[in-house]
Amino acid sequence: MKYKSLNLILLSVFSLTACAQSKSVKPQELSTEDMMAYLVDDNKLGRETGSKPMIEIQQWLIEQYQAIGLKPLPNAKSFRQEFVAKTKKAELDAVNIIGAIDCNCDNDKYLIIGAHYDHVGINNKLKGDQIFNGADDDASGVVASLIIARELAKAPKLPFNIIIAAWDAEEKGLLGSKHFVDNPLVPLNKIESGFMFELVGSKSEPNNAWMTGFAYSSLYPEMKSQLKKQGWTLGEDPFAEQFLFMRSDNAPFAMMDMTKEKSNQVFMEGKKADITGIPMHAMSIWKGQPHYHQVGDDLSVIDFENLTNFSIAVANAIKSLPEDTKIEWLENPHFNFKRPQ
């Protein structure tokens, strides 16, 4: 009797300890603040592609994916999509971290959600702070993707299969997303649509986000109406004249055969250009605050509550899309879009 109870006590102490331990190290329990603090820490040296801290960050992202229950895509051996980021100055080791959630539905189409985890590094010519921590650009987008992944992974059924992408080498010229489009892990004609997050942590008007290229596809009205039910306004791009649609990781997907000639044709001569691509856009909360690409883009510029609420609202919006949702390119003044075959 005595031994039994001792064993029982030992057992329960052991299982309590094991439970407490697994709970404390379970990355999916990390708060928005914890995830942001990890990515933005000075010891990450501004998350420049190919720099030493990126190796640890990639492992951390994989741990988050595993904890959430993401799986590598069926055609991929792991979450890592390695490539060489070629710039004018160097050839850098780069890695996209790509995971997927099965929809448990009849739809064989994918929705891609992503953000870039790289940033611009350090500038040792600066006096004082030399580290570009990139809290808003784009740790906020990576954290939003992780929160959304966590929410979607819990759903019994989704309208689309989901790809969660953390892109590398965006700041070197959208090279990570370009690499995926050139070496897709799923057939490109199976990707229905998607969006990339850029600067979604800014202290701006609460419950307000906006989408680039809003006039180009039906993703904007679809997401606008679903987000409205979540108490969020999805507005039109306030910086339309800057064509931010072409300046984030959505662009390699949306404009696969874009050339300088076509760009000139549209923006210099005012003529429409023929473009092949998948309707994919960027979403942002930033409204021109001065921290963009400055050393001051650190945790102090982040509205953690709004960032968390945004992520959950987007997850709920995705969950509430009907299963047969089709995202179409729309008539617009700049491009004659068509999907890849």
Give min distance, CB of 9 to Zn ion, in A.
54
Closer residue to Zn ion, CB minimum distance, 109 or 172: 172
- From the number of C-beta atoms within 10 Å of its C-beta (0-12, 13-18, 19+), residue 50 rates as buried
Give min distance, CB of 138 to Zn ion, in A.
4
Give the 3-state secondary structure of residue 197. Answer: strand
CA gyration radius, the chain: 21
Give min distance, CB of 248 to Zn ion, in A.
6
CA angle 72, 247, 305 (to 5 degrees): 70
Give min distance, CB of 141 to Zn ion, in A.
7
Closer residue to Zn ion, CB minimum distance, 295 or 327: 295
Contact 202, 134 (CB under 8 A): no
Give min distance, CB of 210 to Zn ion, in A.
15
Give min distance, CB of 194 to Zn ion, in A.
16
Footprint of Zn ion (CB under 5 A): 137-138, 198
Closer residue to Zn ion, CB minimum distance, 290 or 322: 290
E-state strands within the chain: 80-86, 91-101, 110-116, 161-167, 191-197, 208-211, 233-236, 273-276, 280-284, 335-338
Closer residue to Zn ion, CB minimum distance, 267 or 292: 292
Q: Which two tokens stand for residue 201?
A: 């942590």
Closer residue to Zn ion, CB minimum distance, 61 or 327: 61
Total count of residues recorded for the chain: 341
Q: What whole-number distance in Å separates Cα of residue 166 and Cα of residue 216? A: 24
Q: What whole-number distance in Å separates Cα of residue 45 and Cα of residue 47? A: 6
Closer residue to Zn ion, CB minimum distance, 111 or 251: 251
